[in-house]
Structure 1
Amino acid sequence: MEQVGNAETLVARTARGLAQISLDAEAGAFIGSEDDLLARLGVSRPTLRQAAKIAENDRLISVRRGIKGGFYAARPDAQDAIRTLARYLRLNGATLSDIMVVSRLVSEEAGARACACDDPALRARLVGFVAGIDANDTPAELIRAESELVSVISEMSGNPAIQLVMAIGFSFGMEEQRVALYRDEDHRATARTLQRQLCRAILDRDEEIARVIMRRRSTTMLEWIVQAERESA
């Protein structure tokens, strides 16, 4: 039993060592062959290979075969985190209503912070979004539009934590097959109106109105979600 425990500890320690080597290098950089890392970490080949699987699953290294084979530095991206957290929430019984209760506070802050954004490219994206709002008249089109709006506003917030929370909330919601958002024509018209009002507040740099509209959007969507969940129960 002690040998198994020690072996597991060594593998975990080696995985942490591989991760640190990767983080000390630029993403995509070659960090060594298998023999290089065996000498550097002072472990056996089976231990290194088990540790490499752990580090690779965490997207901290990539292992390539062939002539240019070896170990390369890698980095997890936002989508990895989003998928993992959304899966965790779903497995623990979280509902879209639960997500909305938390994410709406973050959304309000995102809307307010977006007002201060001076990035001309991001402001231009928002202007372009406004120009296309009236063309989104089906549930699928509105879902795509919401994805774009959430993306640009969270990016305009300049806060990576806000970007992550909003992305998780949107990802969780759009993948929730039990809830049919925007199926009602009046809901779609309301959603477009709120989108337009929110974009105008941000472009006018009116933080107070942006917070109010964000709150109204979250409250309205939560009502639709609760109604849909009750009807599908």
Structure 2
Amino acid sequence: MSEPAPAEALQVPKAAELVAAQLRRQIVMGERAEGELLPPELRLMTELGVSRPTLRQALRILENERLVRIHRGRNGGARVSRPSVQTAGRHLNNLLLYQGATLDDVHTARLLLEPAAVARIAGTVSAEDVAALRASVAANLASTDGAETRRIGSEFHIQLVELTGNRSLVLFAQLISGLLDGALIRHDAERLKQRMPSQSEGLIHDHSRIIDLIEAGASREAARHWREHLEAVHRQLRKSINTDLVLDLEA
């Protein structure tokens, strides 16, 4: 019969972590509005039943998580900052860096997500949805700025996933897009200043084609076409970036 684990091995949450968890839940559940100034220290200490050092440590935890912005000084205080995709992306990048992930890994995740999404929505989207997708393609073709072209193209990928109506998939798509775009912007800034019509217009044509397939309800062909498109995008990326290096957007 095994002996019980020593008491010191048990992980008991500290008071500050419990307070941070309580405030965190209020923020993410929308009980505290974006930009709202939290009550003064004395009032929060009374409401939460904690000491000043415990409260301040809890607020530092939330500040590190970017859930509050602390302004120090006479008229300072802690203001609520709701969770964002950008903040989540920074945390995700740190985790991927720690785990040794690469841009090739991120590309593979995109391959698993987006073709399945377009297959799912084929034949189910409304005329208004199709019109919005076509408007995005038209705006991309009309753009003469490389960075703007890339932004519209990235948003198109997210638009497709949004049509599944699945919020979790949309968040994943936004995070993946942010990682890929961030890497390219950081490592390939000079090339972004110029538009490369022969390449970009070919990829935009793929966008037009996927809309046709979705509208026609051709789910299998849509998935295949979009997989080939993503592979083409990744081949372009590899021309500028060594995508098998460990992901680090801060390098």
Q: What TM-score range do you get, normalising by the shorter chain?
A: 0.7 to 0.9
Return the match for 1:206 from 218, 228, 235. 218
Q: Give the number of aligned pairs.
A: 226
- Residues 61, 73 of structure 1: 8 Å contact kept: yes
Work out the CA distance in 2 between the residues paired with 1:32 and 1:149.
42
Other-structure match for 2:232: 220
Q: Which amino acid aligns with 1:199?
A: I
Aligned pair 1:18/2:23, yes or no?
A: yes
Q: Percent identity?
A: 27
Other-structure match for 2:163: 156
Q: Provide Cα deviations, 1:1-36, integer angstroms capped at 9, x if missing partner.
A: xxxxx9982221221232234456634167644223
Return the match for 1:178 from 182, 187, 190. 187
> TM-score under structure 1 normalisation?
0.76
Other-structure match for 2:14: 9
- Residues 125, 163 of structure 2: 8 Å contact kept: yes
Q: Provide Cα deviations, 1:146-183, integer angstroms capped at 9, x if missing partner.
A: 12212311221211222122222221112223356897
- Residues 45, 51 of structure 2: 8 Å contact kept: yes
Other-structure match for 1:57: 64
Aligned pair 1:190/2:195, yes or no?
A: no
Give the alignment of 1:46-195 within 5 angstroms.
46-61=53-68, 75-90=82-97, 92-115=99-122, 116-118=124-126, 120=128, 122-136=129-143, 139-176=146-183, 177-178=186-187, 185-195=197-207
Call closer, same or farther: CA 1:48–1:212 in 2, change over 3 Å.
same
Task: Report the alpha carbon displacement of residue 135 of structure 1 after superposing the two structures with TM.
Answer: 2.6
Q: Which amino acid aligns with 1:26?
A: E
- Residues 111, 210 of structure 1: 8 Å contact kept: yes
SS, match of residue 157 in structure 1: coil
Task: Report the alpha carbon displacement of residue 74 of structure 1 after superposing the two structures with TM.
Answer: 5.1
Q: Which amino acid aligns with 1:11?
A: A
Work out the CA distance in 1 between the residues paired with 2:108 and 2:69.
38
Instruction: Write 1 or 2 for the structure with the bigger share of helix.
Output: 1
Work out the CA distance in 1 between the residues paired with 2:64 and 2:153.
31
> TM-score under structure 2 normalisation?
0.72
